Structure 1
Amino acid sequence: MLARIWALMIKEFLAILRDKKSRFVLIGPPLIQLLVFGYAATFDLSHIPYAVYNEDSGFAARELLGEFQGSRAFQQVATVTRQGQIAPLINTGKALLVVHIGPHFTEDLLRHQPAPVQVIIDGRNSNTATLAMNYANSILLRFDQRWAAQHHWGRPPAELQVRSWFNPNLLSRWFIVPGIVALLMLVVTLLVTGLSVAREREQGTFDQLLVTPLTPGEILAGKALPGILIGGLEGAFIVLVAVFWFQVPFLGSILALGLGMLLFLLAAVGIGLMISSLAVTQQQGLLGAFLFLVPAIILSGFATPIANMPELVQDLTYANPMRYFLVIVRGVFLQGDGVSNLWNQYWPLAIIALFSMAAASWLFRHRI
C-alpha cells in the first residue's frame, strides 16, 4: 500500500513539474504573497492624520498640541477654525481624529478646575479608532502628569471626552460584517467564473461548444451572467443577514449599494474569466483565483488601513476593485451615503470593470 501511495505521489509531482503554468503557480504565488504579507499586513498604527480645533490662545493649549506634534504617529493635516469644518474632514477620511480644545482650557487649568479636551474619532474602523484613542490617551496622560508636577496638583487636571462617529460603541462587528459582503461576493464570483472555461477544456466539451451556432461573444456572456447572478444573490443574502441578524445599521441608499454591487460584480467576473481563459485545468483555475484573492483582500483595507502601507503598495491598491467596493458598502451601511456621495468610487470601479471584461474577451478569443 505504501508503495502505491508513493508511486502516486511521484506521478502527481511529475505531472505538476512538467507543466509550465503549474510550475509558475507553485513558485510565483508564494513569493507574491510573502511580499504582500510582509509589507502590507500590519496592525501597527504608524500614521494618524489629525486636525486641530483650538479655541484657546493660552500657553497650556499650545503645550498640549505640542505633544501631538512631537509624536511620530500623529501627522497634522488641517487646522479647524469653526465647528462646521469638522464633519467634512471626518467624512472624507482626510482626518482620523480631531482634537478640540475649548476657549477656557488654560484659564481652567490655572484655576485648578477640570479642563475638558474633546477628541472626535472616525469610528468606522473600530480597531484603528481604538488604537488612535489609546495613543491620544497616552499623550493626554503624559501632559496631565507633567502639569500636575509643575503646578503642584494632587490629581491630573484634564478630562478627555471622546465621540466616535458612525460607530459610537466601537463595535468591530459593524466594521467587519459589511466588509464580508465584498469578500464573499469576490470569492464566490471568482470561483464560479474562474473554473467555467477551464472545466470545459478539462472535460473535453470545449471543442463541442465551439462548433455550436453560438458566437464567442455569446459564449462569453453565457459564462459571465451566471457569475453575476450568483454573486448578486450571495451579496443580497449577506446584506440581509448583516442587518437582521448582526443588527448592523443600514443608513444609506439601497440604489447606491446596488449600483456598487453591479460594478463590482462586473469587475470580478471579468477577472474570473481572464483566469479561466488562461487556465487549462480546473486546478489551475482554482489556484489562479486564490492567487488573485489573497493580495486583493490584503490590499483592500478589509483588515488593515491602506494608509499604513508603503507608498508603492498603496499605489497598487488603485487597481483593486475590492478597495472601492469596501468604501461603498461601509459608506452605505454606516455613513448613510447615497449615489451622489460615492461617484468618486463608482467611476474607478467602472473603469476596472470595463478593462477586465475587455481583457477577458480578448483572451477568450485569442485562446480559441
Structure 2
Amino acid sequence: MWSRIYALLIKEFLNLLKDKKSRFVLIGPPIFQLFVFGYAATYDLNQVPIAIYNEDTSIASRDLIAKFNGTPTFKEVLRISYHEQIAPALDNKDVLMVVHIGQHFSRDLLLAQHPAKVQILLDGRNSNTAQIALGYAQTVLSDFNIQWAKQHKLSLPPAKLEVRAWFNPNLESRWFIVPGIVGLLTLVVTVIVTALSVAREREQGTFDQLLVTPLSPLEILIGKAIPGLVIGVIESSFIILMAVLWFKVPLVGSLVPLYIGIILFVFAVIGIGLMISSLAVTQQQGLLGAFLFIVPAVILSGYATPIANMPPLVQDLTLINPLRYFLIILRGVFLEGLSVSQLLDQYWPMLLIGILNLGMAGWLFRRRMY
C-alpha cells in the first residue's frame, strides 16, 4: 500500500514540476503574497486625520490640543469653528475623529467636584479602526490628566472623556465584519465556479466535443458566465439573509442599491474566473489560479486593514480590485443607508473592470481554442 502511495506522490510532483504554469503557481504567488502581506497587512494607525472643535480658548485647552498634535498617531487636518461643521466632516470621511472641547473646559478643570468633559466623536463605520483610535485618544487624555494633576496638586482626574460613535453607536465589530463577509464569500464562490468551468471540460476530455457543436466561442463564453452570475447572486442573498436574521446586523439602506452592487461585482469577478479557466488545463491549476487572485484581492480590499494606511503604490494597486468598491457599497448600505446616487462612484469602476475582464477572457478563450 505504501509503495503505491509513494509512486502516486512521485507522479504528482513530476506533473507539477514539468508543467510551466504549475511551476509558476508554486513559485510566483508566495513571492507576490510576501510583499502584499508585508506592506498591506498592518493594524498600526499613523497620521489619523482628526478635527479640533475648541470652544474654550484657554491655556488648558491649547495644551490638550498640543498633546494631540504632538503624537505621531494623530494629524489635525481641520479646525472646526461651529457645530454644524461636525456632521459633514464625519459623513464625507474627511476625518476619523472630532475632538470637542466645551466652553467651560478650563473652568471645570479648576473645580475638583466637576470634572471637565472632552467629547470624542468617532466614525464608527470601521469599528476596528475607531476602537484603536479611541485607545490612542484615551492615552493622550490620560497623559494630560497626570500632568494637570501634578501641576495643580489634584487627586481626581481633572478631565472626563465622553465618546459618541456615528453609524455604529456601540462599536460592534460584528456590524463591520459581517457585511464584508458577503463580499469575501461571493468572491470565493464565483471565482472558483468560473475558474473550474472550462478547466473541467479539458480535464474530462469533453472540451473537444463542445468545440464541434454549432455553438460559437462567444456563446460558449456566455454559457459559462451565466451560471457563475446566478450562483454569485444566490450566495450573496443567502449571506445577507443570515447577516440580518441570525447576526442581527441592521440593514439601514434599501435592497436596490445593494443588489445593483452585487450584480456589478459578480459581473466583474466572472471575467477574472473565466480568464483563469481559459488558461488552466486542469482543475488543479484552476484552483491554484483562483487562490492566487483571491488572497491578494482580500488583503487589498480594505476588509481587515484600512487602505489609507497602506503605502501609496499599494493604494493605487487597490483601484483595480472590484472587492474594494463592493465592500464600500456593502457597509455603506448596511450602516449608512446610502442610496444609488451616492454610490455611483463605486458602481462605474466595477462595471468598467467587468467589461475589461470579460473582453480579456473572450480573447484568451478564442486564442486557446484555435
Q: Scaled by the length of structure 1, what TM-score is found?
A: 0.97
Give a deviation string over 1:269-316, Cα, whole Å, max 9, x none.
011001111111111111000000000001111111112222211111
Report which stretch shifted further, 5-14 or 291-300.
Answer: 5-14
Aligned 8 A contact 1:253 1:339 in 2: no
Provide the rounded CA distance (Å) in 1 between the counterparts of 2:315 and 2:47: 13
Deviation at 1:111, TM superposition (A): 4.4
Matched, 1:136 2:137: yes
Matched, 1:176 2:169: no
Provide the rounded CA distance (Å) in 2 between the counterparts of 1:203 and 1:130: 52
Deviation at 1:20, TM superposition (A): 0.3
Matched, 1:95 2:81: no
SS at match of 1:64: helix
Provide the rounded CA distance (Å) in 2 between the counterparts of 1:280 and 1:97: 51
Q: Who is 1:219 aligned against?
A: 220
SS at match of 1:3: helix
Q: Who is 1:186 aligned against?
A: 187
Which amino acid in the other structure matches residue 244 of structure 2? V
SS at match of 2:174: helix
Deviation at 1:94, TM superposition (A): 2.3
Q: Who is 1:311 aligned against?
A: 312
Q: Who is 1:39 aligned against?
A: 39
SS at match of 1:249: coil
Provide the rounded CA distance (Å) in 2 between the counterparts of 1:216 and 1:82: 63
SS at match of 2:165: strand
Provide the rounded CA distance (Å) in 1 between the counterparts of 2:315 and 2:128: 20
Provide the rounded CA distance (Å) in 2 between the counterparts of 1:47 and 1:17: 47
Provide the rounded CA distance (Å) in 2 between the counterparts of 1:34 and 1:249: 37
Q: Who is 1:12 aligned against?
A: 12
Aligned 8 A contact 1:47 1:307 in 2: no
Q: Who is 2:75 aligned against?
A: 75
Matched, 1:104 2:104: yes
Provide the rounded CA distance (Å) in 2 between the counterparts of 1:94 and 1:275: 39
Which amino acid in the other structure matches residue 108 of structure 1? D
Matched, 1:2 2:21: no
SS at match of 1:214: coil
Provide the rounded CA distance (Å) in 2 between the counterparts of 1:78 and 1:277: 51
Provide the rounded CA distance (Å) in 1 between the counterparts of 2:84 and 2:367: 56
Provide the rounded CA distance (Å) in 1 between the counterparts of 2:57 and 2:288: 61
Aligned 8 A contact 1:190 1:269 in 2: yes
SS at match of 1:50: strand
Q: 1:40-55, aligned counterparts within 5 Å?
A: 40-55=40-55
Deviation at 1:244, TM superposition (A): 0.9
Q: Who is 1:196 aligned against?
A: 197
Q: Scaled by the length of structure 2, what TM-score is found?
A: 0.97
Give a deviation string over 1:245-278, Cα, whole Å, max 9, x none.
1110000121110110011000000110011111
Aligned 8 A contact 1:198 1:285 in 2: yes
Report which stretch shifted further, 74-83 or 337-346.
Answer: 74-83
Provide the rounded CA distance (Å) in 1 between the counterparts of 2:136 and 2:54: 19
Q: Who is 2:208 aligned against?
A: 207
Deviation at 1:155, TM superposition (A): 1.2
Matched, 1:28 2:28: yes
Report which stretch shifted further, 90-99 or 115-124.
Answer: 90-99
Q: Who is 2:167 aligned against?
A: 166
Q: Who is 1:248 aligned against?
A: 249
Q: Who is 1:263 aligned against?
A: 264
SS at match of 2:230: helix
Provide the rounded CA distance (Å) in 1 between the counterparts of 2:304 and 2:111: 45
Q: Who is 1:122 aligned against?
A: 123
Aligned 8 A contact 1:130 1:170 in 2: yes
Q: Who is 2:297 aligned against?
A: 296
Give a deviation string over 1:202-222, Cα, whole Å, max 9, x none.
111112111211111111111
Structure 1 runs (4+) greater than 4 angstroms displaced: none
Which amino acid in the other structure matches residue 31 of structure 1? I
Aligned 8 A contact 1:189 1:228 in 2: yes
SS at match of 2:53: strand
Provide the rounded CA distance (Å) in 2 between the counterparts of 1:92 and 1:293: 30
Q: Over aligned residue pairs, what C-alpha RMSD do you find?
A: 1.2
Which amino acid in the other structure matches residue 224 of structure 1? A
Deviation at 1:172, TM superposition (A): 1.1
Which amino acid in the other structure matches residue 97 of structure 2? L
Which amino acid in the other structure matches residue 106 of structure 2? T
Matched, 1:337 2:341: no
Provide the rounded CA distance (Å) in 1 between the counterparts of 2:211 and 2:76: 61
Provide the rounded CA distance (Å) in 2 between the counterparts of 1:64 and 1:83: 20
Question: Identity over aligned residues, as a percent?
Answer: 63
SS at match of 2:72: coil
Provide the rounded CA distance (Å) in 1 between the counterparts of 2:220 and 2:87: 49
